[in-house]
Structure 1
Amino acid sequence: MLRAQLDAGAGSPLSLIVAPAGAGKSVLLAQWVASHPGLPVAWVDIAPGDADPLALSRKVLAALAEASAEFRPPLAAVSTAARRLGDQYLEDLAAGLKEIDPVVLIFDDLDRIGGTPVLTDLWRLVDMLPNGVHVIFASRTDLQLGWSRHRVHHDLVEIRQRELAFDDATTSRVISAITGTAVSEEVAAKITARTEGWAVGVQLTALSMRFAADPDLVVETMSETDRLITDYLGEEVLDGLSPRRRTAIVQLSVLDDFDANLAGVVTGLDGEKLLAGLERDSLFVVPVPERVGWHRFHRLFRDLLLLRLRAHDRDAEPELLGVASRRLSESGDEESAIEYAIRAHDWDRVLDLVLDLGRCYYESHRMGTVVRWLREVPDRNLAERPDAAILLAMAEGMSGRAMHAVDRFRTLLADGELTPGQRQVALAYLAACVQFHPETELFVPVAQAAVSEITRHPDAPRPNLLGLTSRTVLLTVSQVSLGRARLLLGDVHGARRIFEAALRAVGTAYRPYRVHTLGSLAMAEALSGCLVAASGHAEDALSLATEDDLLVHPAPAEAYLARALVAVQRGEPATGALALHEGAARALSNQRTQLLWIAWLIAHAAYPEGGLPGVEEPEGPRPAFVRDALLAFEMRQARSRGAPLPPPSHPASWSYIAFEEVAALLALGRVSHARARMTELAPRPEPDAPLPEVEHEILEGWLCAAEKRNPESRAHLTTALRLAEPEWLVQPFVRAGAAVADLVDELPGVGNGFRSAVVSAARAAAAPPRQHLVEHLTTRELELLAYLPSRLTIPGIAARCYVSTNTIKTHLGHIYRKLGAQNRDAAVERARELGLIPAGDSGPVM
């Protein structure tokens, strides 16, 4: 009956099982799964630690990989700082599930993460599922997630306590199976009534009857109060066991789960025989679905065992946890070893284990887990181990908890108790917090002090923390942090030189940091107008990230944003939409607020009418560079509306605001004032930085035309085109507006492709075309649409964009739906009809 209900619900996105502990939820699910041997099933047993999105992600991906060899994990990053899986991760996961449908994804014991952000994410995942994928939520409590919509639209199957309750016949079969003796209908009915058909109550009663001298007495003396009968029955079951076996079971209760090896070490018995006996005698031991050979006690039974252990010997639990921690550490399971050491309050062992961790925790984006472990350690114990306090501050910074990191580093440095080597580490990683902290100017002297101390004391002994504290690595961190501070303060050219020097240093041989440095350099180059170099360095960074499986890591965020910035500078913002979204997602994954501001700035430069959906305005103050660029953007918008604005103050040197100030004066017809400001603001020549000179030449051309000096105007505009063409630097002409586009169009001689691109982009920005669709394509979808006429396969497009094939497939599905197309060829034809892509023949899709 119940299995038939689950069968009926399998065609909808979700089924729901809600019932108290011991009601038989897991048993029902196991029986249903066994009745469909050919169906891929990913079973996820939820634990309290799965409120950590990284822990939950690893568990879900492991279960899916075990269910199907065809499953490909998402490339999107988990948003750890927000304690969420994140929208892009969910989209990518849903697309990956489409590749292995049909599949069933079971989340058992979801009440353990009730009220957490990741539970909300799992609920949102249900709405993204492709046809053929079915999710089952099992929980002790109603999760209050709003089931009504699924009840109305999907005939939601709900199985609750009343459906799970045993009837007399089921009770009779269970008792007979456990006791080995048939029971009368009268006894079965009495047990059903007293237990209200509660599965574990029936099972415990049967066990009590099995081990009791007088089974009938067990039934007669069952409690009729509201108190859970398991207190009584649990004692009856345990008292029926031999002392040695009873002690072993109670000892095992300290473990979340166990295999034969660990069970043997903790109890001192033969682990294989012990587990076999527990399974044979139905003593509430169940297999852990995602770990072959591992078992756990039923939650309720384990609670009873723990209560008994603590009542009889309060010192036994930490001792047993310590034994388990040492064994797990020896076998290489460092995470479980640390968790058990924490529960044992063995703080020295916790710190020893955490300080021995390697780079993999940084590279796999698990620094939030390190923070959680170290925050469990009392402050007095941390104070005795400065290396651990430094590591906690490092981990807080790397996982997006910048304010905590900065405060902790400052306290450590102010105390004056650090050795020179410890001080170098603290200064370098305090400087790295510039990516997260709004007060950029504070980090320039910190980074300079770090470089100075590392240089002055090259041989100072340094603690080895995560393998990230060698002299060369610390020097790279300090230099790149100084460059980032310079860039955020508006010194783009100075930042670029620092990044170049850092890239030449041996410290960037550590590839994740090399990815960071290449991406930062690419951003500075793109802002300087060196688009060829920026494209090359962004490509190098993303290629390295691909080789080292770092595309889901925050490290490539700058490289993605540099790609988007290059697209904007070349007047082709739609070709950078995916890169912009990917960069913003990675910056958000560890709350790099300063980088999120740059993403937001790029979005508004690319799409003046409203930015890019999915790239949200960050909280907090804007960095100086972003503040000035956004002010210039607002001035340009006002000028395009015919109401130019003066700047709040007159800049003393060339900048975005200076460009807009002169353009506003020209738009107002104040030619003499514009000439005076141009004379004052001539940009200082920078080698390999064409943008300021191109901007200056554009305005000189406009100004000379306003002064009726047409030959000089043509000469300046021709120079601007000549300087900009090698980089295909279109955006300065777009920012100048329609007046300059007309002057460029009127230049004598035959125009070339670049000149045509400049005029087209500037005029398109003044009057953007509108799509004739009920639901418009997003900028990311428009970027992918441009690839469809090509010969590139979906994996080929994904490789070009440095995203997963699942991401591409998700967006293509949206494109086909919006265009009303069934396939790629139909989508291309419809897009050409709408003018969304140029007309022309396309090669066959490979």
Structure 2
Amino acid sequence: MISPPPPPPHAVDRPALRARLDDALGSPLTLLVAPAGAGKTVLLSQWALSRPDLRFLWLEAGRADDDPARFLRRLLRGLGTIDPAAAELAPLLTIGGGGLGAPLLAALVELLAERPGNVLIFDDLQLLTNRALLADLWWLADHVPTGTHLVFSSRVDLRLAWSRHRLRYALLELRQAELAFDADVAAEVLRRITGDAVSAATVESIMERTEGWPAGVQLSAIGLRDHVDGEQFAQRLAGTDRLIAEYLSEEVLEAQSDERRMTLLRMSALETISAPLVESTLGVTGAAELFAELQDDSMFLVPLDDDDDLFRFHHLFRDLLRYRLRAALPGEEQRILASAAEWYVANGDIPNAIETYLRAHSWDAALDLLLKTGREAYERVRTAPVARWLATIPESVRHRRAEAEVLYGIVLGMSGDSAHAEDVLRTLSIAPDLDPGLAVIVHAYLAARVQFRPQVSVSLEDARVALRLLDEHRDTTIPDLLGLTSRGLLHTMVLVARGRAHLLAGQWPDSRNWLTRGLESPGGQYSVYRVHTLGSLALLEALSGRLDRAQELADEALELARDRELLVHPAPADAYLALALIAVLRGTPDRGSLALHEGAMRAASNQRTQLMWVAHLGAVLIGAADLQESVPPPAVAAPPIVRAGLEAAALRDKRLSEGVADATPRATPDLPLPGPLLFEVIACALSKKDAPAARALLTADSFAQDEPIDRIQRDVLAAWLAHVEGRGAESRQRIARALERAAEQRIVSVFVWAGPEVMRLVESLPGTPTPFRTEVIRAMRAKLRSSTAQELPEPLTDRERELLTYLPTRLTNAELAAHFFVSVNTIKTHMAHIYRKLDAPNRSAAVTRATDLGLL
């Protein structure tokens, strides 16, 4: 991101077009769509120069900007001139998947809303092929606040939702016809470049041949400088824009000295040029002076930064120069690119070195660098560029170096392309000649796909195979990939994968055993893996009803993540979801919305579909309407614990709303019903007073795992059954024992979900209610009451309602961020939304307004 480039010396002001741009400022977006050389950039730079009252921020897209991290770094660098706090938004990218992501986009909107008077120009968008990134820019255009205007400039239609924008915003579109020069502008451009007035006949001839195409007029002017008879020269122009450009470029180049002409041709091999790069790669002396001369001569050199350190040729001119270079010096382009890549390596710019090697088709040199990629790519969620670079290399080349193909499968998975990753790793796993050390890596990473794939049995088998190979090949050297394939780290990863598979299958004791072994293994001390494992253990203990332990584990995971700057890494997803489920089970589901949202986003950031299903279940239990639609693709089946939980929730909703529901038991001796579904099946029978059916299901070993949640559920159902059968004393004894057990972990949800009849049993117990019993009664009554209607045109989201309850406290934004394990900017964003929706100027007014509405 830089300030708008200055208009070239020959540029002629075009007030009519500037006025149209001014008029469009009241809408969010302007589109400029026209071919190369149409004058888009020049017009926008003139407009920016004419409006000192506005802040213009300019981002010229390049092919490397398909990497969201690179695109964001450039964007935030420019936004930092508006608000230094923009730099704080950078970590939000890592939960954006292939694009910028919802958290970052929301934060950008808030930042721009607080600093109005901005025009953000995105130039050369045709070079972006990342559809997720383009879609995010369109989302930004849809939500950009008043006082901010976006400009999208492209050679081609981007084929996105333009019609919707046209209808909503009276969208301004400037295309080739509007940008073409008229005769007066063309005459002035010709005069400024040639240094003399040009005859009307010459102008007419040039207009006839170029049809006012700005690049054609500029090239014609450069050519006229070296022709005595301007009219004769103009008459020789013929054909399409492309043919005119090719002919004129010949004229322009022939007018240069042999040395300069060859320098221009060789410079065209480089996408971005700087004086040190050109001097080192091409052996040119005085490159900075050369650049200044080219700019003075209107030779299509475009600055890329405010300090005039980086430049590029106009795309059309560069294409023509490269065409000449390839014809004159076959192979020279690749040699120059390889030399430039070496220069980047020497200067520590590895990403540009890899990109340049790839453009030179120096595949092995690129692979050498890629195979040295370190652990920071994983820790900072920057594996997507590695996957993109490896995909650029022909398969035949990757297959010659098996470790490159293994790395490709690993980074594909880390980047969220799960199906492709599975294909690559499965193919490698059956290769007969695969090196044993690589085979260990492949099977370990196949096991680690457990949160990405729906087949739990496949994950368990992969883990068993990986553990066997690790044992069989104890003395085998294992290649180092990403700094993550040491024997210790692979062993930990497989132990945790096996624990997660049992977790998703609802097998709590087995899951606890394997996850604990993973946590206690040497590799379990690696911070990222430790955050992962602690979170999975927290999720397990939350589901099993050991809520105090779950809270400890989740807090430890998130505190470690915060200390290691990993809060926005996908790793803490399990811990956040555990906190959300703890809130649900303790009868305060509204206190889990922020954690649920954070966990769901991190699970979705690299498409861990099975964890996304867990997040969806959490959304259903919390009642978070704005997250319930965030589910994996329909083709991806939910894991057993989620299927059982969702079916139980559906039965419960029907039973509580209609007073009765039918549920057909599906248990067999070999396949008992999962706990939450078994509870609901028995509750359905009891709601119909069908004691025999309930008694048949409620045997001593119905809840076979005997976890805290199972014991409480069994006691509540036994109390209900005794009540239905008229055994009052036993019913009271059973419900009292259920309350006593539940109080140990403060589990409230079982009583709330049981419904009115159990509520009456709790209320009718003799004696003074304990604090926990009072808490249960309060939660059960709140469930039965209809919620207070919000008198707001735009309702608060679940996360905003949760944060609203903290507004009356004295906690600062920083303290709230620490409490919720989120960024300060996340809190600021939600606060801003709350103030806007409550029409309150500050925190105190928001509390007053929310209290008046019954929201507090």
Which TM-score tier does this pair reach, normalised by the shorter chain? over 0.9
Deviates more, 1:656-665 or 1:352-361: 656-665
Structure 1 pair 316–80 and aligned structure 2 pair: CA distance change class (3 A): farther
Match of 1:60 in 2: 75
395 and 144 in structure 1: CA distance in 2 versus 1, 3 angstrom threshold: closer
What is the root-mean-square deviation in Å for CA atoms of aligned residues? Answer: 2.7
What residue is the counterpart of 1:246 in the other structure? 261
- Aligned partner letter, 2:490: L
Unaligned runs of 5+ in 1: 838-846
Report deviation, 1:155. 5.6
Does structure 1 retain, via aligned residues, the 8 Å contact 2:575–2:599? yes
Q: Which moved more, 1:661-670 or 1:597-606?
A: 661-670
Residue 671 of structure 1 is matched in structure 2 by 691
Report deviation, 1:106: 0.9
CA drift of 1:821 comes to 4.0
2:626 and 2:798 in contact (8 A); partners too = no
Q: Secondary structure at the match of 2:480?
A: coil
Residue in 2 aligned with 1:756?
Answer: 774
**Matched position secondary structure for 1:442:** helix
Cα distance in 1 for partners of 2:503, 2:455 equals 13
- Tell me what 1:771 maps to: 789
Structure 1 Cα separation of the partners of residues 130 and 614 of structure 2: 33
Distance in 1 separating the partners of 2:774 and 2:630: 31
Change (3 A) 1:802 1:77: farther
Q: Return the match for 1:811 from 830, 836, 844.
A: 830
Partner in structure 2 of residue 41 of structure 1? 56
Q: Among 707, 713, 718, which residue is 1:700 paired with? A: 718
Contact 1:194 1:224 in 2 (8 A): yes
Distance (Å, rounded) in 2 between the aligned partners of 1:594 and 1:44: 38
- Greater shift in the superposed pair: 675-684 or 537-546: 675-684
C-alpha displacement of 1:373: 1.4
Q: Which moved more, 1:148-157 or 1:89-98?
A: 148-157
Q: Is the 8 A contact 2:648 2:676 kept in 1?
A: yes
Q: Matched residues in 2 for 1:600 and 1:4: separation?
A: 50
Q: C-alpha distance in 1, partners of 2:833/2:243? A: 52
The 1:221/1:625 distance shift into structure 2, 3 A limit, reads: same
The alignment partner of 1:73 has SS state of helix
Task: Find the residue that maps to 1:747 and give its secondary structure.
Answer: coil
Shift of 1:661: 2.7
After superposition, the Cα gap between the structure-2 partners of 1:148 and 1:351, relative to the gap in structure 1 and judged at 3 Å, is closer
Q: Is the 8 A contact 1:434 1:484 kept in 2?
A: yes
Trace 1:790-805 onto structure 2 (pairs within 5 A).
790-805=809-824
Deviation by residue 1:395-415 (Cα, 9 ceiling, x = unmatched): 111122222222222222222
Q: 1:399 to 1:225 in 2, by over 3 A?
A: closer
Per the alignment, residue 590 of structure 1 pairs with 606
1:419 lines up with 2:439 in the alignment: no
Counterparts in 2 of 1:226 and 1:94: CA distance versus 1, 3 Å:
closer
Alpha carbons 1:560, 1:580 under 8 Å: kept: yes
Cα distance, 1:527 vs structure 2:
0.6
Q: Following superposition of structure 1 onto structure 2, how do residues 179-578 of structure 1 map, counting pairs within 5 Å?
A: 179-212=194-227, 215=230, 217-223=232-238, 228-270=243-285, 271-289=287-305, 293-578=309-594
Spell out, residue by residue over 1:332-367, the C-alpha distance to the aligned partner (whole angstroms, 9 max, x if none). Answer: 221221122222222211211110111222222222
* 1:269 positional shift: 0.9
204 and 327 in structure 1: CA distance in 2 versus 1, 3 angstrom threshold: same
| Counterpart residue number, 2:101 | 86
Query: Distance in 1 between the 2:129 and 2:291 partners?
Result: 32
Any residues of structure 2 matched to 1:159-178 within 5 Å, and which? 159-178=174-193
Number of matched pairs: 833
1:843 alignment partner in structure 2: none
The residue that corresponds to 1:735 in the other structure is 753
Return closer, same or farther for 1:290/1:634 CA change in 2, 3 Å cut-off: farther
> Is 1:655 matched up with 2:675?
yes
Q: Which one-letter code corresponds to 1:763 in the other structure?
A: R
**Local SS of the residue matching 1:197:** coil
Q: Structure 1 residues 498 and 101 mapped into 2: Cα distance closer, same or farther (>3 Å)?
A: farther
Deviations 1:184-236 (A, max 9, x none): 45544543444333221121112112244655543342226665411110011
Q: 204-213 vs 397-406, which deviates more? A: 204-213
In 2: Cα distance, 1:654 partner to 1:198 partner: 71
Q: Which residue of 2 aligns with 1:841?
A: none
Does structure 2 retain, via aligned residues, the 8 Å contact 1:44–1:289?
Answer: no
Q: Which residue of 2 aligns with 1:824?
A: 843
Q: Give, in whole Å, the separation in 2 of the partners of 1:816 and 1:273.
A: 55
The answer for the alignment partner of 1:844 in structure 2 is none
Structure 2 match to 1:834: 853
| Cα deviation digits, residues 385-439 of structure 1 (max 9, x gap) | 1111110111111122222222222222222323332222112111111111111
SS in 2 for 1:415: coil
Is the CA contact (8 Å cut-off) linking 1:564 and 1:602 kept in structure 2? yes
What one-letter code is carried by the residue in structure 2 that aligns with 1:89? L
1:247 partner letter: M
User: After alignment, is 621-630 or 353-362 more displaced?
Assistant: 621-630
- Point out the more displaced range, 224-233 or 721-730: 224-233
Q: What letter matches 1:477 in structure 2? A: M
Instruction: Specify the code of the residue in structure 1 equivalent to 2:729.
Output: P
Map Cα deviations across residues 607-656 of structure 1 (whole Å, 9 max, x no partner): 29x68455335422121222222222233233322123122335537722
Question: Per the alignment, in what secondary structure is the counterpart of residue 245 of structure 1?
Answer: helix
Deviations 1:547-579 (A, max 9, x none): 333333222211211111111111111111122
Select between 610-619 and 362-371 the one with higher mean Cα deviation.
610-619
> Amino acid of the residue matched to residue 516 of structure 1?
H
AA aligned opposite 2:763: D
Distance (Å, rounded) in 2 between the aligned partners of 1:109 and 1:299: 10
- Provide the secondary structure at the position in 1 that maps to 2:715: helix
How far is the alpha carbon of 1:156 from its aligned partner? 4.3
Q: CA deviation at 1:820?
A: 4.6
Structure 1 stretch displaced more, 198-207 or 183-192: 183-192
Judge conservation of contact 2:788–2:855 (CA < 8 Å) in 1: no
Kept in 2: contact 1:597–1:618 (CA 8 A) = no
Per-residue displacement from partner, 1:23-68 (whole Å, max 9, x unpaired)?
A: 2211222233344557543211122443444443343233323564
Hey, what's the Cα distance between the residues in 2 that align with 1:125 and 1:290? 26
Instruction: Give the structure-2-normalised TM-score.
Output: 0.91
Quote how far apart the aligned CAs of 1:152 are: 6.4
For the residue of structure 1 that corresponds to 2:699, the secondary structure is helix
Cα 1:209/1:829, change in 2 over 3 Å: same
Q: 1:535/1:37 Cα in 2 relative to 1: closer, same or farther (>3 Å)? A: farther
The equivalent of 1:123 in structure 2 is 138
Corresponding residue number in structure 2 for 1:102? 117
Asked whether the 8 Å contact 1:41–1:67 carries over to 2, the reply is no
Superposed counterparts of 1:606-617, under 5 Å: 606-607=622-623, 612-613=627-628, 615-616=630-631
Identify the range of structure 1 (781-790 vs 221-230) with the bigger mean alpha-carbon deviation.
Answer: 221-230
Is the CA contact (8 Å cut-off) linking 2:72 and 2:90 kept in structure 1? Answer: no
Which consecutive unaligned segments of at least 5 residues does structure 2 have?
Answer: 1-14
Separation of aligned partners in 2, 1:86 and 1:194: 47
- Cα 1:476–1:224 change in 2 (3 A) is closer
CA–CA distance in 1 between the matches of 2:849 and 2:804? 11
Q: Offset of 1:682 from its aligned partner?
A: 4.8
Q: Is the 8 A contact 2:99 2:132 kept in 1?
A: yes
- Which SS does the other structure have where 2:298 is aligned? coil
TM (normalized to structure 1)? 0.92
For 2:363 and 2:538, how far apart are their aligned partners in 1?
44
- Distance in 2 separating the partners of 1:142 and 1:403: 31
Kept in 2, the 8 Å contact 1:646–1:664? The answer is: no
Provide, for residues 252-305 of structure 1, a one-character-per-residue CA deviation record: whole Å limited to 9, x for no partner.
212211111111233221233332332232211111148861100001101111
Q: Is the 8 A contact 1:685 1:693 kept in 2?
A: no
